[in-house]
C-alpha cells in the first residue's frame, strides 16, 4: 500500500476518514502533532493554516508516496493556494470529506481542490462510508 499523507484545515475530517479507511470505530481525537505511521500520516489542521508550521508538511510529504489535500464539503473557505500541487514532488490527489452533511457543498470543495491543481478527486463520507473503498483501492494500486 502506498503511504498517504493527509493535509487540510482543522476539523476537515482527516482523522475520522483515517478511522474509516482502517475500518475502526469513528472516535473524535483532536490531532495535536504529526501522527506518523506506516500506512497513513495524519497531520494537525493548524499546520496547513499556519505559515510557520506549513514547512513541516513539506518535509513529512517526502516520507509519503501520495499527498491527499483534504477539503470538507462543509467548510467556508480554502487554505490551499491555486496550483500549490506544483510545490510537491509526490503525486497529489484531492479528497472531499463530509459529503453526507445536510449543508454539504461537495462541488465547492472540489472546485478549490481543482484550483489547487488536483486532477483526481475523491468524494467521501466517513459516516456513510461512501468513497472510502475507492480511496483505499487507489492506495493499493
Ligand X SMILES: Nc1nc2c(ncn2[C@@H]2O[C@H](COP(=O)(O)OP(=O)(O)OP(=O)(O)O)[C@@H](O)[C@H]2O)c(=O)[nH]1
Residues forming the site for Mg ion (CB under 5 A): 14-15, 31
**Applying CB under 6 A, does 100 fall inside the site for ligand X?**
yes
- Please check whether residue 98 is in contact with residue 13, taking contact to mean a CB–CB distance below 8 angstroms: yes
Q: Is 102 exposed, middle or buried (0-12, 13-18, 19+ CB in 10 A)?
A: exposed
Binding mask 5-44 for ligand X (x = CB under 6 A): ---x-xxxxxxx-----------x-xx------------x
- What mask, x for binding ligand X by CB under 6 A, covers residues 78 to 97? -------------------x
H-assigned helices in the chain: 14-22, 45-49, 51-61, 106-116, 132-140
Q: In angstroms, what is the minimal distance from the CB of 43 to Mg ion?
A: 8
CA 90: distance to chain centroid?
14
- Nearer Cβ to ligand X (19/115): 19
DSSP notation for 9-30: -TTSSHHHHHHHHHT-------
10 interface partner picked from ligand X, Mg ion, none, CB below 5 to 8 A per type? ligand X
Q: Does 60 bind ligand X (CB under 6 A)?
A: no
Chain residues binding ligand X by CB under 6 A are 8, 10-16, 28, 30-31, 44-45, 97-98, 100-101, 125-127
Amino acid at each position: 500500500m502506498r503511504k498517504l499523507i493527509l493535509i487540510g484545515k482543522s476539523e476537515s475530517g482527516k482523522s475520522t476518514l483515517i478511522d474509516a479507511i482502517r475500518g475502526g470505530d469513528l472516535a473524535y481525537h483532536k490531532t495535536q502533532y504529526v501522527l506518523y505511521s506506516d500506512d497513513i500520516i495524519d497531520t494537525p489542521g493548524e499546520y496547513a493554516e499556519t505559515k510557520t508550521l506549513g514547512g513541516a508538511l513539506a518535509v513529512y510529504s517526502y516520507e509519503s508516496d501520495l499527498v491527499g489535500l483534504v477539503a470538507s464539503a462543509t467548510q467556508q473557505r480554502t487554505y490551499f493556494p491555486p496550483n500549490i500541487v506544483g510545490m510537491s514532488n509526490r503525486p497529489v490527489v484531492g479528497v472531499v470529506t463530509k459529503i453526507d452533511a445536510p449543508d454539504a457543498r461537495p462541488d465547492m470543495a472540489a472546485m478549490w481542490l481543482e484550483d489547487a491543481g488536483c486532477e483526481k478527486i475523491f468524494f467521501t463520507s466517513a459516516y456513510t462510508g461512501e468513497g472510502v473503498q475507492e480511496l483505499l483501492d487507489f492506495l493499493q494500486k
